[in-house]
Amino acid sequence: MTISKLMPTPDAVSAQSAGTSRWSGLGQRILGSRIAGPSLALAISVVIFSATTSTFLTASNVSLILQQSVVVGMLALGQTIIVLTAGIDLANGAIAVLGTVVMGKLAMTGHHDTTALLLGFAVCLALGTLSGGVVTRLNLPPFIVTLGMLTIVTAVARLYTGSQSFPVSSGLLTFLGRTVNLGGFALTYGTLLLLAAFAVVGYMLTQTAWGTHVFAVGNDPNAARLVGIKVKRVLLSAYLLAGLCYGIAAWLALGRIAVADPSGYQSANLDSITAVVIGGTSLFGGRGGVLGTLIGTLIVLVLRNGLTQANIDSLYQDVATGILVIAAVAVDQLARRRQQR
Amino acid sequence: MNAPNTNTTGHDERTPVLAARGLVKRYGHVTALNGSDFDLWPGEVLAVVGDNGAGKSTLIKALAGAIVPDSGHLLMDGEQVSFKSPLDARRHGIETVFQDLAVAPALDITTNIFLGRESRSRGFLGAVLRRLDKKAMRTEAAAALTNLGITTARSVTQPVETLSGGQRQAVAVARAAAWSKRVVILDEPTAALGVRESGQVLELIRRVREQGLAVVLISHNMPQIFEVADRIHIHRLGRRVAVVRPQESTMAEVVSIMTGALPGNDSSVAEAPSAQQVARP
């Protein structure tokens, strides 16, 4: 008996992960990657819309899609961190909306823009952390906690503004809507900030011990605890960082449309979950990443934009998105079942 | 990660690497440990057996720092120690493979081996950007597996969930052996495995012993115990009742002592002054 049998030989490895087919190493890595499916879906939709409409693949439209994706993308970034811990945040849109009205109202009532911005951030950060605190201290399911937060925060935003939307004067608060011209391609500062935020969070998740612990906690909290990871602290930090993302999302929202509307972005929470799930992050936690979420966000926005360009009723956009969500979760389930066989 | 211990020089061969005296642990009216002693000698495989409810898992938890006994004390190399948490035990060089493995299935072998003890890059990248030194960790993980004869240099990036039960157990044992400085505690490592894979894990246990580590093996499987153990600690009614050597005993005798049909030989049971008279390797 040899111990080497305890571990699969290279041949056994590829046979195991690729079924009976014999992929080359590189092909296997691409096909086995979690973002392969989402990338393909994005590529196919871009090709179809480019071929069927004359307006889709133009510099201005692509720039528009990127601008449209910043708020949902930023919310989805925070959502990704939470979903990786096997949680979910239904309140992220509401928290960001409260952030926008706090920023707008403070600026309108004579506070300095910087003060308004920082206090808006602080509100989002505090509310994200509050969700995390309730989840970890009271051991409640994140779904319930954030459902409650969604209701409360939405009501608070309306009480605070008397349910009235109001314009925000341009300045620091709307700065992220300004465009910068990169070789004939108009990008907003918001888009650049979004990409930077994805890069930073992506780095934290894949290159630091904290990120590894987020995955471990989402994958198997007991295993994480037994190796000495402080599970509750990791969970709390995930909600805190997500709260920061929601604060930035609020700023991005004001840059996109300079109006603070307490009843805006009502479906942004579900859109962010859609982007995360379509991007290949598992709702069961511990699997996925921000690159997938970026692609998932683009898929949602490309579908919406492309179907509009093709003059298709916007309700069909929702049908298409819904089908994608179910398909993505089904693929995830299947993959999990196959691996845990 | 420490280099594998090849011997136990610097420690008196007559001193148990890990010992317990008079451990008591009560849960309400239930006395799980009733003045139990324990001795583990350097470089040996000590099997711990006992009927269900005999208190052996409470004993193991006390040794691993997972519970704090109500009274009694622990000794490492003859010096008194106390463990408030598994981390304390770990700091003293004791690594435990819990029965439910404690590996995160979606994470790869390297990540699991280093989970909670990741190493960072040198310099600015590591100190300021907190960057993990993945390359070094992979190299060390591969070395840890090779040390135990698990030849998988290529597959340390493989998710643990793609491994079989025996392979996962091998990863868990390799992690414990790689980090342990003195003692590896294995709680029912073959309970979920088939015959062939169990045999492979037993072979792995021998290799851990060859690295100079002392092994505590909790098991129900008598044939396996007699195959791999140097001594057998028999637990009954919350205390050690006997320590026997497999060469000088039969499975039937061990089972009889376990169930109380035969009296034990442990001097502490007879209130003798020293527990050092028990069989020694």
- Rounded to the nearest angstrom, the minimum Cα separation between B271 and chain A is 37
* C-alpha A224, offset from chain centre: 24
Structure confidence at residue A10 (pLDDT)? 39
Lowest mean pLDDT among A141-145, B80-84, B89-93, B270-274: B270-274
- Rounded to the nearest angstrom, the minimum Cα separation between B152 and chain A is 6
Domains of chain B: 18-93+180-270 (3.40.50.300)
Q: Please report residues of B whose CB lies closer than 8 A to that of A7.
A: 145, 150-152, 155, 163, 167, 170
**ipTM confidence:** 0.81
- Quickly count: other Cβ atoms within 10 Å of residue B138's Cβ: 19
Q: Name the 3-class secondary structure at B267.
A: helix
Q: Please report residues of B whose CB lies closer than 8 A to that of A16.
A: 162
- For residues B68 and B59, the answer to whether their CB atoms sit within 8 Å is no
Q: Which two tokens stand for residue B211?
A: 């690295």
- Rounded to the nearest angstrom, the minimum Cα separation between B255 and chain A is 29
* pLDDT string in tens for chain A (341-residue length): 333 434 444 333 333 333 333 445 555 555 567 788 889 989 999 999 999 999 999 888 998 899 999 999 999 999 999 999 999 999 999 999 999 999 999 999 999 999 999 999 999 999 999 999 999 999 999 999 999 999 999 999 999 999 999 999 889 999 999 988 887 778 899 999 999 999 999 999 999 999 999 999 999 998 898 888 999 999 999 999 999 999 999 999 999 999 999 999 998 999 999 999 999 999 999 999 999 999 999 999 999 899 888 888 878 888 888 888 898 888 888 877 776 55
Structure confidence at residue A18 (pLDDT)? 35
Selected residue of A1, A2, A3 to mutate for chain B interface (largest B Cβ count, 10 A) = A3
State which residue of chain B sits closest to A25, comparing Cα positions.
B154
In this complex, do A209 and B130 lie within 8 Å of one another by their Cβ atoms?
yes
Domains of chain A: 37-336 (1.10.3470)
